[in-house]
Structure 1
């Protein structure tokens, strides 16, 4: 029995967090994250339904609508589901594999069983809420089996799948014990989207070389030039659709907020900023080490330079994430102990989430933004910083392995595995703001035009238009 929702987004998490007051009162508030920021405007425009886990184990409230009119349909997960499906297979098996083995993936059969079972549950929930002939947009690596299951449950649906993280080379992917099942799950979609053509090419090569499927055409950007033909004749379109942001979602910064923040930092000449989830893929430790060496060599003056690092808590029960936090916080303490003074740290570190309007003030106050992941599907933080500098101020240091580097070519690119490369990029950015301000302004304005023109609505429109064309 189908529901009445013509457009359904299904993702691991609902775009809300549950807050419990001391008196026991429960309220739901919008949750942070690039996926939420990207999809919320689309759902609001279409008055769609979002299917996902509410973030609380062993509990699923009744479906409810947000203030914007989006129907949220919770999926109940037990604590065992969360440990096996999310912490286990999704983030200790798939995440490191898809990020080129930055840490070694762990493959447990019981994790795979949990992943398969939870994907089945998500698909069943979607099958119940979707109207006849509805469009369903499945999001990300946690739900790669959902398209195939949905194709069996509801062949009337138009199914799109989008991967928000990188897709590795076939040689790496072949080590996954359940690679055939994952590919079969993805083959239930009518359109599979990636951020970059290189990711799409990796997937097409895997389908052709490893799985023996017929591949027609080559991957294009914001258009469909490639198809995979399954053994039963189903044609799956494949393309690259670089995700972006909704500049309006950053809100308005507090009036006088930039001056106030810089005063709280001691009115330094140069403010450098990093904003990341505390994830081992983000290269936070390496940028701290590079900053430390620049201070040691006196290339940067600790009396006139500060680094702000916002590290949002992430997957804190997973060992590699605990280790990453420990290493980062040890480096912060060491740098401040060596180069700071009482009441004047040289690194200002926050291990917490910030509301969007406060984050905008941080972006606007920063002279240099550091985005140095070892590997990233896109990285919307880089685009948010650029969106906040429509006056051409500021400079962006960007990893060449972030998906955003394909579009933000005027950034100061660096190799995050090479401390000397990071150091050169930071110095070039810092010095360029004073020695070649016109050049730096032109570069920032060019990036701002790119982000303003190709916003989240262009991303969603391109994908959904291409999905409609597969009919």
Structure 2
């Protein structure tokens, strides 16, 4: 996303606005900070510590994140956090409003900022405003578990265009709007609502995000000859390599992935001492207890598999619980015989696309992909799995490790063609083009009250 948006801003001009990433002690939000870096203008504000905890660590990550990923058992609602979420979005709107020109286009991203357009509209903003959700959108049967769910749904109606990653997410959003607010999609895929005297049509659409395909492929080719990739190859000997890499998160299906690999070794003993699984899981959100529990579970699973199957010269699981440089990962992807990507629910999953882009066309690896990843909608060259079924995952891993070169090339070529057509830059261009086509809602007629109390338009 960052790559695509930076390209748009460099080409068309504009302003990148948002939280600075810094927190302050005290009760107030920080002053607006402006800077220019590599040809792009930035305007950021700091959050005070309480608002950070309530808005980001609290409501966004303890409530909205599990809700949108269908994990209601992990949702921890706190009304004060909900108030902080609303307050920070209001503060953002107040800081952004003076910076806007009458003909500007505003593009807001992700679940942390859903109410931002409504807050801008309340301050008088009439510009075109688009919103893109990078995570899944659940149907009303799930979404309705959120207290005041209707309020958050109405916030979406302040946008002119709302985009999601997949057709499945589009169906979830449409279902929530229909069952939650009684709004039916029209023939063009939008809904019409009335708010504060303004009649607005909100277009809903799916725009699958891509990557910088050629750029990442070039990075992988270079990284394959780098020191890290060479060290990896030397340590592997003639063994095959399975690789997985993402941040530590309960939506990524990491424990299920380890169980699937364990089942591979148990059910297909011909792979013993013949394959190694490298899992990079960079720590994230350490302040959230659920994430600390997940790390302990992964530590135990990796240790158990290694304890059961390791030899004095072979460790089945290599588990790295810290961030690894993107260039280094690109080299590992290129060296890997199998890319294993098994989220329990994902908006898209760009790791799957990066793995495919990194492959050597003459001897590509195989992508084993969860059917719950948004990428599964378009990457039909992958071997799809249900991550909840460890035995089925083991069977697909066995198939991938034994797949003939001809079939590997055919599957890779199909996916690579799609990645070259749907890049990150094209995703941004297509969304902004659709946003430009939307009619801007007209404000209601001005009302004048005479001394006698009568109304004149």
Assess same fold via TM > 0.5.
yes
Instruction: Please state whether the residue corresponding to 1:77 is helix, strand or coil.
Output: strand
Q: Which residue of the other structure, out of 225, 237, 261, is the alignment partner of 1:256?
A: 225
Structure 1 residues 102 and 361 mapped into 2: Cα distance closer, same or farther (>3 Å)? farther
Tell me, in whole angstroms, the C-alpha distance in 2 between the residues paired with 1:391 and 1:240. Answer: 30
Q: Does 1:295 align with 2:265?
A: yes
Is the 2:242–2:339 Cα contact (8 Å) retained in structure 1?
yes
Structure 1 residues 261 and 106 mapped into 2: Cα distance closer, same or farther (>3 Å)? same
Q: Which residue of the other structure, out of 210, 226, 237, is the alignment partner of 2:189?
A: 226
> Could you tell me how far 1:192 is from its partner in structure 2?
0.3
Alignment of 1:108-187 (within 5 A): 108-187=78-157
Structure 1 residues 244-275: Cα deviation after superposition (integer angstroms, max 9, x where no partner): 11125535233623861443433243100001
Instruction: Please state whether the residue corresponding to 1:133 is helix, strand or coil.
Output: coil
Alignment of 1:10-29 (within 5 A): none
Tell me, in whole angstroms, the C-alpha distance in 1 between the residues paired with 2:22 and 2:320. Answer: 25
Q: Could you say which residue in structure 2 is the equivalent of 1:336?
A: 306
Tell me the TM-score normalized by structure 2: 0.89
Structure 1 residues 71 and 300 mapped into 2: Cα distance closer, same or farther (>3 Å)? farther
Structure 1 residues 61 and 266 mapped into 2: Cα distance closer, same or farther (>3 Å)? farther
Structure 1 residues 9-53: Cα deviation after superposition (integer angstroms, max 9, x where no partner): xxxxxxxxxxxxxxxxxxxxxxxxxx3244333233333311121
Is the 1:37–1:249 Cα contact (8 Å) retained in structure 2?
no
Q: Could you say which residue in structure 1 is the equivalent of 2:381?
A: 410
Is the 2:224–2:331 Cα contact (8 Å) retained in structure 1?
no
Q: Does 1:42 align with 2:8?
A: yes
> Could you tell me how far 1:101 is from its partner in structure 2?
1.7
Q: Could you say which residue in structure 2 is the equivalent of 1:365?
A: 335
Q: Does 1:422 align with 2:393?
A: yes
Q: Does 1:85 align with 2:51?
A: no
Tell me, in whole angstroms, the C-alpha distance in 1 between the residues paired with 2:60 and 2:224. Answer: 42
Tell me, in whole angstroms, the C-alpha distance in 2 between the residues paired with 1:132 and 1:426. Answer: 55
Is the 1:204–1:228 Cα contact (8 Å) retained in structure 2?
no
Q: Which residue of the other structure, out of 456, 461, 465, is the alignment partner of 2:429?
A: 461
Alignment of 1:274-289 (within 5 A): 274-289=244-259
Q: Could you say which residue in structure 2 is the equivalent of 1:101?
A: 71
Tell me, in whole angstroms, the C-alpha distance in 2 between the residues paired with 1:336 and 1:100. Answer: 32
> Could you tell me how far 1:72 is from its partner in structure 2?
1.8
Alignment of 1:234-245 (within 5 A): 234-245=200-211
Q: Could you say which residue in structure 2 is the equivalent of 1:4?
A: none
Structure 1 residues 344 and 129 mapped into 2: Cα distance closer, same or farther (>3 Å)? farther
How many residues were matched structurally? 426
> What runs of 5+ residues in structure 2 fail to find an aligned partner?
25-29, 440-457
Structure 1 residues 417-445: Cα deviation after superposition (integer angstroms, max 9, x where no partner): 1112211221111111xxx2201210111
Tell me, in whole angstroms, the C-alpha distance in 2 between the residues paired with 1:147 and 1:268. Answer: 55
Is the 1:262–1:268 Cα contact (8 Å) retained in structure 2?
no
> What runs of 5+ residues in structure 1 fail to find an aligned partner?
1-34, 218-224
Tell me, in whole angstroms, the C-alpha distance in 1 between the residues paired with 2:379 and 2:233. Answer: 31
Tell me, in whole angstroms, the C-alpha distance in 2 between the residues paired with 1:60 and 1:263. Answer: 50
Q: Does 1:377 align with 2:347?
A: yes
Structure 1 residues 314-369: Cα deviation after superposition (integer angstroms, max 9, x where no partner): 11111111111111111112222232245642212212222221121011111100
Is the 1:272–1:307 Cα contact (8 Å) retained in structure 2?
yes
Tell me, in whole angstroms, the C-alpha distance in 1 between the residues paired with 2:212 and 2:115. Answer: 29
Tell me, in whole angstroms, the C-alpha distance in 1 between the residues paired with 2:396 and 2:98. Answer: 52
Instruction: Please state whether the residue corresponding to 1:308 is helix, strand or coil.
Output: strand
Tell me, in whole angstroms, the C-alpha distance in 2 between the residues paired with 1:183 and 1:84. Answer: 20
Tell me, in whole angstroms, the C-alpha distance in 1 between the residues paired with 2:12 and 2:313. Answer: 51
Tell me, in whole angstroms, the C-alpha distance in 1 between the residues paired with 2:180 and 2:254. Answer: 35
Structure 1 residues 143-171: Cα deviation after superposition (integer angstroms, max 9, x where no partner): 11001111222433110000100000111
Which sits farther off after the overlay, 329-338 or 293-302? Answer: 293-302
Tell me the TM-score normalized by structure 1: 0.86
Q: Does 1:55 align with 2:17?
A: no
Structure 1 residues 88-128: Cα deviation after superposition (integer angstroms, max 9, x where no partner): 11111111111112643111100100000011112222212
Answer 1 or 2: higher relative contact order, Cα 8 Å, separation at least 6.
Answer: 2
Larger radius of gyration: 2
Tell me, in whole angstroms, the C-alpha distance in 1 between the residues paired with 2:298 and 2:72. Answer: 17
Q: Could you say which residue in structure 2 is the equivalent of 1:447?
A: 415
Q: Please provide the CA RMSD for this pair.
A: 1.9
